[in-house]
Each structure stands twice: as C-alpha cells, then as structure tokens.
Amino acid sequence: MKPIYVTEPSLPPLEEFLPYLQQIWDSKQLTNGGPFHQQLEQALCDYLGVQHISLFTNATVALITALQALRITGEVITTPYSFVATAHSLLWTGVKPVFVDVDPVTLNLDPANIEAAITPQTTAIMPVHCYGHPCDVERIQQIADTYGLKVIYDAAHAFGVETATGSILNHGDLSVLSFHATKVFNTFEGGAIICPDAKTKRRIDHLKNFGFVDEVTVVAPGINGKMSEFNAALGLAQLKEIESAIGKRQQIDARYRAAFADVAGIHCVPGAGELVANYAYFPIRVQPGYPISRDALYQKLRDQDIYGRRYFYPLISDFPMYRGLPSAAPALLPRASLASSQVICLPIYPTLTEEQQDRIIAIVRED
C-alpha cells in the first residue's frame, strides 16, 4: 500500500507547464528578473492583496535578507515553536534570538510575554503565523511601536490568509513567505518578502542580487537570492490551481474535525479568527483522556505507513545551538513545551483520497 505522507506537493498538469518551458528555451533567459519573474510578482500582488513583493530562491534566504534590509542587530524576540529556519536566520545575521512562550490556544507568540523580554539590545520581534493561523498582529504592533522595534513576520505558512483587515501579510515591517514543496503554494522551491513600499522593495531587490544597482554600481553587501525563471513559471501555473487546491484542503479539514469531535483526548487546534484560511496543516493535540501517548499514536500511524509529523518537536530552543541561551530554559516555555509533546500534524493535501482519510481517521479513533 502506498505510504501516506504529511503532505504531497501540488503540481499542475505537465502538459500545461510545457509551454512555459518552451518560452524559457526560446528566450534563453533563465534568471535576473526575466519575464516570468516579473509576471509572477504582479500576479502574486494581485492574488494576495499586497502592494509589493520580491521573489526569492527560498524563504530562509528571504528571512536573512529581511533582517539585513532592516539593519537588525542585537536581540530579536521570537518563538521556540517553529521550524528551525526562523531562529537560524537570526544566528546567520549575528543576531541573538530571545525565546518567549506561546499562546496556549493558537500556539503563536504570546504578546503577554513579549514586554518582559525586551532589553536595551532588543531591536525587533519575529513572530510566526503558526499553521497559517494569524498572530495577534494588533497587540504585537502596539508593543513594537511603544518600544521602537521592527516586526518581521515569518509567514511561511500563511499564503492567502486574510483577517477582517485584509491580507495578514500586510502587517509588520516585512512578511516572509515560503514556496517550498510542502507549502500550500509552491514553486518547487522559493520564497518572497512582502514589502510595504517601493523604496523598501528596491533595497531588498538590490540585496538579493549581490547589491548591484547596475553593471558597475554595488550599493550593499548583497547575497544571491534571486528566483529563477523556471521557478517563477511554475508559480504562474500553480496560481491557476490554487483556489481548487485550498478548497480540497478545506474539505479534508472539515472531515477530520467532524470525525474527531467526540474522541476523548483528541483536540483539533482551532483557527485564530482568520476570515480566509488556507488549511495548510491539520494539527491535533493528544491529551490526557486518550488511551495512548502522542508518541505512541505517532508510531502506530507509522506502522501503517502513515507519516504524520510532530510539528514542532523538539522545540527550537532544545537544539544544541540554542539551549544554552537563558531564554531557552524549559521552565520559561511551559506552553510551548507542552504543545511540542502533544501535537501531531495529520496528512492533508489536495490529492488525499477519502479512502486514505478514512484509514487515518480509523487509526486515530481506534475503530
């Protein structure tokens, strides 16, 4: 029986993608802001409801460039409950991560814990819209404004997510998207920075292209973070299918929630007030009252070739390069630690069949 993984990349029909390849072969333009790159930037601005976007080779390079663009130094307050790239981007730019605990319901950075972590060295806050559920952006911005801090959102999970004020990507100084193969929208590999104005976008575009302004002018110690024409072309093809893909994810989400509603000890992580969700992940918490532990259920699923993921275990703060930091002490992060011991993300992707869903549901329900 075919293994079921936590996700499976969505891809357009190959015959629809081949004409894009033909255009690339004809033009011989593979990178450096070619026609597909420019078209995808505009198409994403239109779809996402944002003003400016700069495409990148991946989201990690985008995070690093966002920190450079805002000249972030010293300390940055962030979450331990995320993928390691969030904190790694800080270390790569010589910045010290300061971890604070998460909200017990949304598992996003808890604004109530931010102020106590601010020191004279703090220059920014880097929250994560965990599982695509929006952070409390208003409270975070109030704190940032009070203390003169920048806000960079790791929005890797939050493609297309909207609240009452529109796109969640328009909050903070910058937001960073991931277009990795595991994401709702993918370009094989890729990422982007959402920019609030044309001046900031110009600076970011310079930074991602070695700092070049023209053939003989270099204005900053930039990096090579450009998205290729191949990836941009795939993104254009993917956008045609995105609404259908998210709709199928929504159906699976609803099916899971209905199936687990009466299962003692299984708690489906709720949304965080978003008006438009993307159903990027389906996390459940295995709590007291369920007959076996989270790790036992994880193994039981694996024994049936179903590969859920313990997103996020271990916590970032538990890894060797972080656990020596004062803010990484488990006693300071009880809610993140508890979530890390309870959560499994179940498989969810557009081509997950009802038969496959039923297999997963039966194992979790112990039917």
DSSP string covering 152-181, please?
A: EEE-TT-TT-EETTEEGGGSSSEEEEE--T
Rg (CA), the chain: 21
Interatomic CA distance for residues 88 and 316, integer angstroms? 9
Residue carrying the six token digits 């796109």: 167
Task: Say if CB 325 and CB 96 are below 8 A apart.
Answer: yes
**CA–CA separation, 131 vs 133, rounded Å?**
6
Check whether 122 has a pLDDT greater than 90: yes
pLDDT of residue 62: 98
Q: Which residues contact 43 (CB under 8 A, 6 or more apart)?
A: 235, 236, 239
pLDDT of 282 above 80: yes
Rounded distance between C-alpha atoms, residue 112 and residue 139, angstroms: 9
Residue 320, pLDDT > 60, answer yes
Give the model confidence (pLDDT) of 331-362 as tens digits.
Answer: 999 999 999 999 999 999 999 999 999 999 99
Regarding pTM above 0.85, the answer is yes
Omega before residue 9 within 30° of 0, cis: no
Give the DSSP H/E element, type plus range, for residue 98: strand 96-99
Sorted by sequence, the CB contacts under 8 Å of residue 138 that are 6+ apart come out as none
Residue whose entry in the numeric block shows the structure tokens 């991602």: 208
Nearest to 163 by CA among 140, 142, 141, 134: 134
**Mean per-residue pLDDT of the chain:** 97
Contact in structure between 325 and 316 (CB atoms under 8 Å): no
Say if residue 111's pLDDT is above 80: yes
* pLDDT at residue 367 tops 60: no
Other C-beta atoms closer than 10 Å to the C-beta of 191 total 28
* 87: helix, strand or coil: helix
- State pLDDT tens for residues 152-177: 999 999 999 999 999 999 999 999 99
Whether pLDDT at 126 is above 90: yes
- Least Cα distance to 179 among 198, 201, 156 occurs for 156
Domains and CATH numbers, the chain: 14-239 (3.40.640.10), 242-365 (3.90.1150.10)
The pLDDT value recorded for residue 271 is 96
Here the tokens at position 163 are 């609240």
Hey, which residues are catalytic here?
A: 183
Which pLDDT band, with edges at 50, 70 and 90, does 1 fall under? confident
